[in-house]
Structure formats: structure tokens, C-alpha cells
């Protein structure tokens, strides 16, 4: 599993969002992007993370930062998650976890005492040219936005 670091080129992606629209990394060329990976829509940690992003979305947009979430969930589950919490940003379906693998966030983890394969909650701050400014693996749900803000302050 590759581990991406600041300065690395972000791997390209093109995935369907909760509305069935194809969203790619190229769509954000010229903008900064907070790309975060979460294990499963509408679970406690993922809801906490998504709602914290939702609550800060306008402030992040004023800083020129777009936000996209990625999980293995199918688009219809993503749509229900978005509708239930009024998230209002793209939630991408990486059902075959190819993008998660490219970002080094698909791997073995322990859940309830058992080893399983899945998304390792992580986030990446990507600059206007597609380079990674910040990479956080095993990030706590509530730390996704603060870590991105701190990296933006440092990069400014």
C-alpha cells in the first residue's frame, strides 16, 4: 500500500457521486481540494466527520477549498446519507476501492477485535496543480477540517 506524502502528485480519480455525476480530480484543477476517505455512510464516526465538513463548508469555500468525500458505498446509499444530513458536497462511490488503494487508504484494520480490510479514515489536502499539501492517515473524524485549516495556514 503506497503512502502518499506532501509534495507527491495526487493520483487521478473519476467516480460517480450521489447524483450519478462523474467527478474527477481534473474537475478541481485550479482549486484546492480536501479529499477525505471514510469507511461507511451513515455510521457514527462517518456522520460526525461529514457533518463537521458540512458545518465548515462555507468557510472552507471562502478560502478557495472544495470538499469531496469518498467511500465504498454505492451512489444510492451516498444519496440517502447526503439527504439525511443535508451535506451538500460530492460523496463519491469507490465500490471497487481502486481509488482508495491508489491513495494508500485501503488496508487491514481492527474492528471489534477482528482484522478486516477496509477504508482507513484519511484525508488529503491537494493544491491547485494536483500536488498533495497535507496527508493524514487514521485521522479522527473531528480532526479532518482542523488539520486542513492548519495546513492551509502553513501553506499560505
What is the block-wise mean pLDDT of the chain (156 residues), using blocks of 10 residues?
Answer: 87 97 97 96 94 93 93 96 96 97 91 86 96 95 93 74
CA distance 51 to 131: 26
Catalytic residue check, 46 = yes
Give the HSE-up count for residue 40: Cα atoms under 13 Å, Cβ half-sphere.
5
pLDDT digits (tens, 9 = 90+) for 55-68: 998 999 988 899 99
Question: What pLDDT does residue 103 have?
Answer: 97
Catalytic one of 10, 46, 87, 105 = 46
Q: What angle do CA 15, 49, 85 make, to 5 degrees?
A: 80
Overall size of the chain counted in residues: 156
Question: What pLDDT does residue 145 have?
Answer: 93
Domain 14-155 = CATH 3.40.50.300:
no
Amino acid at each position: 500500500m503506497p503512502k502518499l506524502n506532501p509534495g507527491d502528485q495526487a493520483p487521478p480519480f473519476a467516480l460517480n457521486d450521489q447524483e450519478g455525476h462523474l467527478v474527477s480530480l481534473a474537475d478541481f484543477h485550479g482549486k484546492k481540494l480536501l479529499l477525505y476517505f471514510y469507511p461507511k455512510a451513515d455510521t457514527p464516526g462517518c456522520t460526525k466527520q461529514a457533518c463537521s465538513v458540512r458545518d465548515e463548508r462555507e468557510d472552507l469555500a471562502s478560502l478557495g477549498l472544495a470538499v469531496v468525500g469518498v467511500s465504498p458505498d454505492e451512489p444510492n446509499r451516498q444519496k440517502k446519507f447526503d439527504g439525511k444530513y443535508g451535506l451538500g458536497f460530492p460523496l463519491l462511490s469507490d465500490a471497487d476501492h481502486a481509488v482508495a488503494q491508489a491513495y494508500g487508504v485501503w488496508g487491514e484494520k481492527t474492528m471489534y477485535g477482528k482484522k478486516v480490510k477496509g477504508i482507513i479514515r484519511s484525508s488529503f489536502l491537494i493544491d491547485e496543480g494536483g500536488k498533495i499539501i497535507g496527508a493524514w492517515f487514521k485521522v479522527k473524524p473531528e480532526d479532518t477540517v482542523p488539520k486542513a485549516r492548519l495546513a492551509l495556514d502553513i501553506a499560505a
